[in-house]
Structure 1
Amino acid sequence: MKILVTGRDGQLARSLAEGACDYPDLSLHFAARPECDLAVPGSAAAVIRETRPDLVISAAAYTAVDKAEQEPELARRINAQAAGEIAEAAAAIGAPLIHVSTDYVFGGTGDAPMREDEPIAPLGAYGRTKAEGEAAVGEGQGDHLILRTAWVYSPFGANFVKTMLRLARGRDEIAVVADQMGSPTNALDLADVLLALASRRAGGDRTGWGETYHAAGSGQASWAEFAAEIMRMSGAQTRIRPIPTSDFPTPAKRPAWSVLDGAKLNETFGLALPEWKTSLAPVVKRLLDEG
């Protein structure tokens, strides 16, 4: 199966590239700027028409949560309008679509893991535009999967794990927010789920398509708990000082609770991401080994 992946240098795209070696039935092609620029209307659709893939994975997005508050129209262009164009172009050539979304479509209330059918209420421009992207995908392409994920990290690019390890080299103490709860997710695990779903589709299995699923690390943590575990696994002596969100104001408001429930993904496909601490350990080790 020929798969077109939007993006090339992001955490998820690089994780897909690394994981693809375990799926010889899949041939991945990565579409990135300048040929595929989601900020340019029609760019992604043109690449899809030219490439004519058997399946599209929409992995690229505008993910600068705070910056999106200053440039909401660019975030909407990339996360919503381009998502709709990708869905329509894929549908036009008969290619199914897997679209990656986010926990930030939720409003942050509750104390139990969020199911797919719970009401969305995004708090900022990033979450709003991703929610609009989900709607655009549903309108433009019936043959799709939407996978919401959360708190993504990996050995690649810029992410929370790499930031904490960098800060630990020069500080005795790091203040980290303790009243936002979520689901830390290893991008390599998420990529494996995407590839497994694509491989099943390559074999003709259409079970569960046309739906939204949650695909995030199992369990839950606050940012402070996440940071403390990074320190413990790395052997760093840096202390993590838990603070409330009010002590660390940011341009974008973040959900206080966005833990995702992955039961539907497991029940439908028999797929589940590992417990977040289990997945964190190899990434921390790899980053330390790589210096």
Structure 2
Amino acid sequence: MKTYFKLVILFLAMTLTSCDDVINVDVQTAPSRLVIEASIDWEKGTTGSDQTIKLSKSTPYFDTNTNTAVTNASVRVVNDNDGTEFIFTHQNNGAYTNTGFIPVIGQSYTLEVIHEGETYTANETLTPVVDITEVNQSKEEEDEDLLEVNIIFTDPEAEENYYLLKIQRQGDLLPELIDFDDEFINGNRIPMWYEKEDDEDTDEVNESFQPGDVVDISFFGISEAYSNYMQILIEQSEGAGLFSSTPVPLKGNCINTTTPDNYAFGYFRLTQVVKTSYTFQ
């Protein structure tokens, strides 16, 4: 019996150690594209004059090159009503800044980026946002050990509104993004609840909110077009489920007017935002 057992072990060892052939898999690659991060966000209580637009190039998934900044572009934003031009100056790191931007609620603006002989344009309207009236905490009804943060605001009744809520616990790597509209909540006082649950699939502990945690909250008013874009982006970033559609390249509103097929990634948005923070008790 012992001899048989040893023979089985020896056979398994030979089988496992012999399976060491290298398999080369051809991974599809896509052409490098311009990535435009043009978020003009006017925080309430500020002038909104300091704005930054970031340009980079996309890279293959397994590429280890981290220096993707675009340093040789021309960037400007124009007020479509009076033609006021805001030139964004390169800072030698892919960031282009302007310290004299004038935000106007309801005003349409056009972005123009010229890079490597090609012109990219996008158009958006600066969307307002209502104030957050209260931030507090509560405990989840089915699990009193789970803390949740509550963000309360009142939705305007006379208009369609689209919102983006960004919640990030200080110390966390990534924020949580929540996109929603007022189709079923129009004109009401709206409480938004958010909690973090422990992830059983990871070794990390205290994923849920704990007393002393500080949460940064940003509440944006966004356009319907940007809301549609964010819905797809959030769905794809959360991973494909059983009935999810196959992820596809997500196109924003930045159009290449020189070579349309060489489109850019990213989005040009103009939003008003309310920022606050909350410390759990």
TM-score with structure 2 setting the length: 0.24
Structure with larger Rg: 2
Counting helix residues as a fraction of each chain, which structure ranks higher?
1
Higher fraction of strand: 2
